[in-house]
Structure 1
Amino acid sequence: MKANTQPPATARILRLPEVAARIGMSRSSVYLLMNRGQFPKSVKLSLRAVGWRESEIDEWANSRPSAA
């Protein structure tokens, strides 16, 4: 009997404008938190491009206290 397994989730890479929009912070705030070790590290995409793993951004956002 086969176990119920789901296909792996698609690993999506987000660029900075989408990351900033999702978390409601500016570019400088993202890099400041990243340098302090309080935000997920970026991944190098090419010589001059970086991105962030969507799963890590979602996990980080869900770990933050809500404003309510």
Structure 2
Amino acid sequence: MNTIAIQPRFVAKDAAAQLLAMSIKTFERGVQKGEIPKPRQLSAGRVGWLVSELDEWAQSRPVSEILPPANTGAKKPRKPQECAA
């Protein structure tokens, strides 16, 4: 049996945001402002984003001169709890 890897043509909102390495809220704001490609109608009650349009948008982004901040989502270390004796 042969296995064929198929790349999706469309992705849902959460996957589209993840593909662009941003939060869903940031993604939604970008779509609402027209800064990020709008979804396509897939059926009467379903929309999706074309992966090719998201890739094209990502490639069009300018090169950054700044590095990401130190707080890139990693869990913060917890302070040791004091023991009550």
TM over 0.5: yes
Are the equivalent residues in 2 in contact too, given 1:11–1:55 (CA < 8 A)? no
SS at match of 1:65: coil
Task: Answer yes or no: is 1:15 the counterpart of 2:9.
Answer: no
Q: What are the within-5 Å matches in structure 2 for residues 2-41 of structure 1? A: 12-41=9-38
2:25 is matched by which residue type in structure 1?
A: S
Count of residue correspondences: 59
Which residue number in structure 1 is paired with residue 60 of structure 2?
63
2:16 is matched by which residue type in structure 1?
A: V
Give the TM-score of the pair, scaled to structure 1: 0.69
Provide the C-alpha distance between the structure 2 equivalents of 1:45 and 1:32, rounded to a whole number of angstroms.
21
Q: Which runs of 5+ in 2 are unaligned?
A: 1-6, 66-85
Between structures 1 and 2, the one with greater helix share: 1
SS at match of 2:49: strand
Provide the C-alpha distance between the structure 2 equivalents of 1:55 and 1:11, rounded to a whole number of angstroms.
10
Identity fraction in percent: 36
Q: Which runs of 5+ in 1 are unaligned?
A: 1-9
Task: Answer yes or no: is 1:52 the counterpart of 2:49.
Answer: yes
Which structure 1 residue ranges, 4+ long, deviate > 6 Å from structure 2?
none
State the structure with bigger RCO (CA 8 A, min sep 6), 1 or 2: 1
Cα offset, 1:47, TM superposition: 4.6
